Amino acid sequence: QVWDSGGRSHSVDLTALEKHGEVYTEGPFACLAWSRSETRLLYVAEKSRPKPQPPCPWDVPAAARPVEEDEDEEVGAVYPGEQFVYHEDWGEALSTRSMPVLCALDLEGSSLSVLEGVPEHLSPGQALWSPDDRSVVFVGWWHEPFRLGLTACSNRRSGIFHLDLASGCCELLSAEHSAAFSPRLSPNGQRLLYLEGDLGGPHRQCLRLRMLSWQTRQTVTVLDVVQEPTAAFAGLYAEALPPRCWAADSRRAVLGTPQRSRTDLLLVDTETATVTNLTAGSPEGSWELLTLQWDLLVATCSAPDHPPSLVVAALPPPGRELPLCWVPVQGAPTVPGVTWKTLTVQPPCSGQSPAAHGTQAFEALLLSPPDGPALHPLIVCPHGGPHAVFDARWRPSMAALCQLGFAVLLVNYRGSLGFGQASISSLLSRVGEQDVADTQLAVEQALRSEPLDPQRLALLAGSHGAFIALHLLAHEPERYQACALRSPVSNLPALLGTSDIPDWRYTSLGLPYSWERVPRAEEVATMLLRSPIAQAAQVRTPVLLCVGARDRRVSPMQALELYRVLRARGVPVRLLWYPEGGHALASVETEADVFRNCAHWLLRHL
C-alpha cells in the first residue's frame, strides 16, 4: 500500500501479479527505495520458480507423450524427476533466501518488472536509485561455486554495482576482491558512501568507510581499518550504515558503531576524514540512529538499567557539533534495583603473546542488584560470535536476573568487536585458549573487587560463548555450581559438514580455507583437541541445554551428543528442544521459555 496526505493512493497485490516469489522484508538483501520522482519503488524478492507438475499416466522413461499433452505444457514447468533438485540458500536465518531479484514497481504506469542485466553469478540486494532515476545501484554477493552463510558474516565477497536500466549494462564500482555493502547516496547525488571489509578471516571485523564520486567514479578511503584503538576512535564495526545517514550539506554523515563496550554515534566529515563522537561520556551506553533528515537527528538510547528512550537533536553547522543537545521525545524510567559499571581487565604478559595486542586490555560489564547483607551470586556470560560484543545496552533478561538477586558479568574477551582489528585477529588460532583464559581472568578480578560470593558462580552463554563456558567447566570442575547454555558449540570437527559457515572452523585455528578444501586427519585431530566434548569427562556441574531444531549454524546434534555423554556419566543435565527454533532462539514464545527455564535452573542450583 502507498499512502499520501490524502490517504491511501495505491494498493497492489504483488503476489497476484506472479512476477516473483516472496518479497524480502528483512535481512541483508532487503530494501525498499523510492525513486527521486517518487513514482517508482525498488525492492528485492525471491526469483519465481517453475511450479511442479503432477505425475501423469504417460510418465514412463523413454516413452513419448501424447501430442495433445505437449500442446498444453506450461512453459518452465518442473516435471517428475526434477522437483527434488537441491536449491542452495544463504544459511542461518536465511533458509528461504536463495535467488534474489531486483524488482521495480511503477505506480504511474501500474506495472511491475523484474530488472534484467544482473550477472547470473551474483545475488543482488540493498538497492537504491541513481540520481537521475535511469539506473540503480545495488550490492551483489558472489554465490559461486556455492553459498556460505551470510548472517553476521561481513567477510563474504560482494561489490557495489551500477545497473543501467536502458542498456542493461552492469558495472562494478567497488574493488574487485573485497566485501563491499551498505551504499548510501548523498542528498545532492554526488557522493556514495559504503562499508568495505576484507575477504575471509574473521566473520566480523573492523571495516573501512569508502566514498565514491558519482561523476568521476573515483573512490577514496574516508576511514581506514583501525588496528589499535585510540581514546577518540576505535574503528568501524557496524553491520550497516543507517538508511538515512547524510547531513543536508552532503559532506557529513552520522553512524553508530561499537566503541569498546559502548555503541556510540559518530559524525564523520568526509572531506577532512575526521571523526567526532556525538555521544561519548553519556550515561546511556548504547545509541542507534533511526534517521537523519533536514539535519534533525532521531535516535534511541539505552543502558543496562534504562530501557530505550526516543530522542531528537538538531545537527549544528560543521565545527560546532559539540555539545549536542538531545531532547527526549518518549522516555523510559531507570529500572530500580540495577546498577552497572565497566571493568577494565589487563591480561598478564605471556611468552606466547609477544605482540602488543597479546596483552591489550579488554573489558567486562558488571550488572549488580542492590547491596545487601549477603554477597551476591555471580552469573558469568561470555558472548557468542566470537567476534561480537556486549555493549552497554538494555537487555531485559539481564535486568530480570538482577531483580532475582544475581550479579551478571558480561565479558568482552580479546577478539570482541570495538577494540581494534589487532584484538580481533589475536583470537585466531587461539580459540579455546585465549578467550577461555580472558573470561576466567575477568571473573577473578570481579571477585576481588566487588561484593560477590565466590561459592555461588554460574555460567550463562550461547554459541561460541557456550563453547567458552564448557571449557571453563572442564578446567574448573569445582568452581561453577550451575550452567545454562543455548545453541552450544561442543564438537568442532563435527561442524565441518553441518554448519553453514564451515570456513570458520579452519580460520578459527589459523588454517587457510579454500572452496575445494576437504578435512585432513591432522586438522580434524587439532579441532577435536580444542573441543569441549573431548574434556567432557571433567565436567561435574549441572548443565541445562537449549537448542533449536532448525539451527543451521550450530547443529542441534552438538547439544544432543553432549547431553548423552553427560547423562551417561551421571552429571545432572536437561535438554530443551525447540522444533521451530533457529540459532538465536529468537521468537517471542521461545525466548520467554528459554529465559524461564534458565532462571529456574540457576535459582535451583545456586
Q: Which residues are catalytic?
A: 463, 551, 583
Residue 551 and residue 583 in contact, taking contact as beta carbons nearer than 8 Å: yes
DSSP 8-state secondary structure symbol assigned to residue 79: P
Written as one string, the DSSP assignment of 86-130 is ------TT-TT-SSEEEEEEETTTTEEEEPP---TTEEEEEEEE-
Joined together, the cell numbers standing for residue 418 give 570495538
Closest CA to 383 of 288, 326, 462, 476: 462
Q: Say how many CA atoms lie within 13 Å of 409 toward its Cβ.
A: 31
CA angle 547/22/42 to nearest 5° reads 120
Cα–Cα distance between 35 and 189 in angstroms, integer? 12
Residue 164 and residue 134 in contact, taking contact as beta carbons nearer than 8 Å: yes
- Whether residue 323 is preceded by a cis peptide bond, meaning omega within 30 degrees of 0, is yes
Closest CA to 385 of 446, 441, 435: 435
Name every residue whose Cβ is closer than 8 Å to that of residue 467 and which is 6 or more positions away in sequence.
431, 432, 488, 489, 490, 532
Name every residue whose Cβ is closer than 8 Å to that of residue 264 and which is 6 or more positions away in sequence.
256, 257, 277, 278, 279, 280, 287
Joined together, the cell numbers standing for residue 585 give 532462539
DSSP 8-state secondary structure symbol assigned to residue 490: -
DSSP 8-state secondary structure symbol assigned to residue 356: G
